[in-house]
Chains A and B, each alone.
Chain A
């Protein structure tokens, strides 16, 4: 009898644990049942949005709000990260409903037939600003100076009017969407990774390294900027929402949500919801993006800007 005691105890714990899990699940389904309950609604379905980690927080937050709306309570929105490439691949192969991307599909997918299948929905704008360590002693850089720094021609801050301090480049990996945006619109050219430069994929790490490393330079989305960094003006223009909207500050890109062909009803409702004023005026600005509706300029996949 006593020999069996540990076994019995273990079984008991298992049962208890399972019961605890079960009750939680029950509570969850009950809750959603209650809210779905009476009215038979028109829209239902599962939406899986995969891709860009830069866009993920917005889609997640919008998804939560969307599912809380009475009309859409039968729609299930799931959001996953994984990177722009993953998002475009999965939506193109039909594994995901929506592919989130920081760049135009044309820039990632070589196959033109596959690109033409995808439908672009631009939901927000992200602006990127060059930043440096506070002690570098520089506040303003021109396009040419940035090119020289990121291509390794200028290696000391004194050459651009700062302190006598070696420049440490904190870059993004060559496949990153943020880097593509920075290269396209701030530098106007692709740069190779120079020896000794640092590459980090997460904005948090870039911010930490630039803030702590003497002589560091990098670039970050506006939502990450704060007093720990020196935000550099680009060609004398400050990276502010107003300047981006007016088109005077050029380093910005759309956040895209791609669908394969035209979206189904539920997906369309979700995309419309993200573009609605409720999300654009609140969540989008809260999370540090810029609403597409405010943009006075437009840009196409080739980078041509129109008023």
Chain B
């Protein structure tokens, strides 16, 4: 008796739901189809970008007969000279030096800002500092470039003499630009930390600094490094702001205050002035390929760090 009653009750409840269920069924399928289309589209776009850059970039070596060794290790860049020289080493070193220095400057600042927001003054720090830092990431890079050109370059000029443009100005501008990326990733990692960890550290009698220094930082270190690597990836690809302050001389610099170039700055500087299909243009695409490969390396690094984080 009871069972049948229960059955009827269930049936009664189910009846009005049936059309709903069908609606959900279709909703689910439209959702699935829509997401699959988007995913396929994304994959196609990604692969075509890689294919496009690779086909253009590699034709420098296979079609125009520039040796890959000369390209990667040659110190002279003189595509309009006789004979033309396509050594991209000055730009590759320029890119790496500015990126590394920018990361070196930005990482400690970001770590402190992230710790301040999550560990030291979580309430106010998050309310005031985080929006401020997020604001930094919204400023267009041309503005950073212009500030660099109008403030940092004259400052360096008056402090150290010379032209003021160069690696030093470039990495100062870049370090400010990557600050928000690194800080927000670090802050996310720190706030995702289980509370028990801190509490047990305090329970053992550790002070706040001891907890931060001995417990929190070592635990989230891979995530902190992920933040730094992502910041470096951004710095490596940044073009406009750097181009304005670095000076763009195609030489391996001997001092931080000397004009130098990065891969991106040289591409933006010359791409429009060269005709498609010329060796000079193809060589610029080869540099774009180097940038793309470096982005892959950064992504792989982040993946490796994440894996370590999980274990």
Residues of A bordering B, CB below 8 Å: 53, 81-86, 88-89, 92-93, 108-110, 166, 168, 173-177, 190, 192-201, 205, 208-209, 212-214, 216
Contacts and interface: CB of A to CB of B under 8 A. Distances in A.
A6 B243 CA distance: 44
10 contacts: A85-B272, A173-B273, A175-B269, A177-B273, A194-B249, A200-B244, A209-B149, A212-B153, A213-B164, A214-B157
When A and B form their complex, which 6 residue pairs have the shortest distance between CB atoms, in order from nearest? A83-B272, A175-B273, A199-B248, A89-B276, A85-B274, A198-B247
A92 B247 CA distance: 33
B4 interface: no
A102 to B, nearest CB: 9
Interface string B69-90: 0000000011111000000000
Contacts, number: 108
Nearest to A81: B272
Contact count band on B: 35 or more
B281 interface: yes
Interface string B194-205: 000000000000
B56 interface: no
Nearest to A110: B278
Given A197-B259, A198-B247, A201-B269, 14 more contacts: A86-B275, A86-B276, A89-B277, A108-B278, A175-B274, A175-B280, A177-B273, A190-B80, A198-B259, A199-B269, A200-B244, A200-B248, A209-B163, A216-B163
A173 B266 CA distance: 9
A190 B80 CA distance: 9
B172 to A, nearest CB: 17
A89 B247 contact: no
Interface string B140-175: 000000000100011001000011110000000000
B79 A174 contact: yes
A177 B275 CA distance: 12
A89 B272 CA distance: 10
Nearest to B249: A197
A99 to B, nearest CB: 10
B270 A175 contact: yes
Contacts of B238: none
Contacts of B274: 83, 85, 108, 175
B165 A198 contact: yes
Contact of B163 (A88, A198, A201): A198
Nearest to A195: B251
B164 A176 contact: no
Name the residue among B153, B163, B247 with the largest chain A CB count within 10 angstroms: B163
Name the residue among A81, A110, A205 with the largest chain B CB count within 10 angstroms: A205
B258 interface: yes
Contact of A213 (B78, B79, B157): B157
Contact of B251 (A92, A93, A193): A193
Contacts of A84: 272-273
A199 B247 contact: yes
Nearest to B278: A110
Contacts of B281: 85
Interface string B212-252: 00000000000000000000000000000001100111110
